[in-house]
Structure 1
């Protein structure tokens, strides 16, 4: 048969609406079920009022000059040391006050708190120097 005699069938167009809906549902599913960062809490003690009992031992004040240098207030040597060098000098049973001196990024402060906790210092508070 001659193809010129037969009428041409109109091509059906495929609707993409259903495909777009499926892609959108998959996108929402993967966005809601994926985890991009690991969230963890850093336990901090709240500031205490003057009426509460204070321990007989004065807490050591650990001064954070920048993310890599720390010093202990009240010691003769005011040398700035890395936290890994300073940890053996600290008493793990004594409470600490961590004082960031300059504008330190939160990541550095949280990392210092985590390192102190890993070294066995359970009682760490954040403080600030009196002006």
Structure 2
């Protein structure tokens, strides 16, 4: 028997493998990981809300801190940020009394948080945020 006796017809080219199912799986994995991952750190700002709407009597001198993009004012008087805690301590009637924070002149959230962190580091934990 010679090779010519087994004629199987014209030679077929091997079929190319399709990449579409693999691409679909990659996109599904990409969507899964995008939806299940967390893209940032969630931070909670502990700010007093006035005891759920119940009124309380204010004690002591006013303690209103106006936060601007480039300055900080205590009761309308511009105060260097490094001296803010000392000036506030002189106005506190008791430890734990509230301090009112008011962002002004397009002050961004990061500026507000940095002032709050500075006050919290000096022991002022009761802060009320107003518009």
TM above 0.5, yes or no, is: yes
2:64 is aligned, of 30, 45, 61, to 61
The superposition leaves residues 9-29 of structure 1 with CA deviations (integer Å, 9 ceiling, x where unpaired) of: 222021223202220122023
The number of residues matched between the two structures is 121
Aligned to 2:87: 89
| Aligned-CA RMSD value | 3.1
1:24 is aligned, of 27, 51, 57, to 27
- Give, in angstroms, the shift of residue 71 of structure 1: 1.9
- Secondary structure, counterpart of 1:125 in structure 2: strand
Q: So what's the TM-score if we normalise by structure 2? A: 0.70
CA contact (8 A) 2:101 2:129 kept: yes
Q: Is there any run of 5+ residues in structure 2 with no aligned partner, and where?
A: none
How do 1:98-109 and structure 2 match up within 5 A? 98-109=101-112
Q: Which has the higher helix share?
A: 2
- Moved beyond 6 Å, runs of 4+: 48-51
The separation in 2 between residues aligned to 1:96 and 1:15, in whole angstroms, is 67
- Secondary structure, counterpart of 1:122 in structure 2: coil
Q: Is there any run of 5+ residues in structure 1 with no aligned partner, and where?
A: none
- Give, in angstroms, the shift of residue 101 of structure 1: 2.7
CA contact (8 A) 1:59 1:95 kept: no
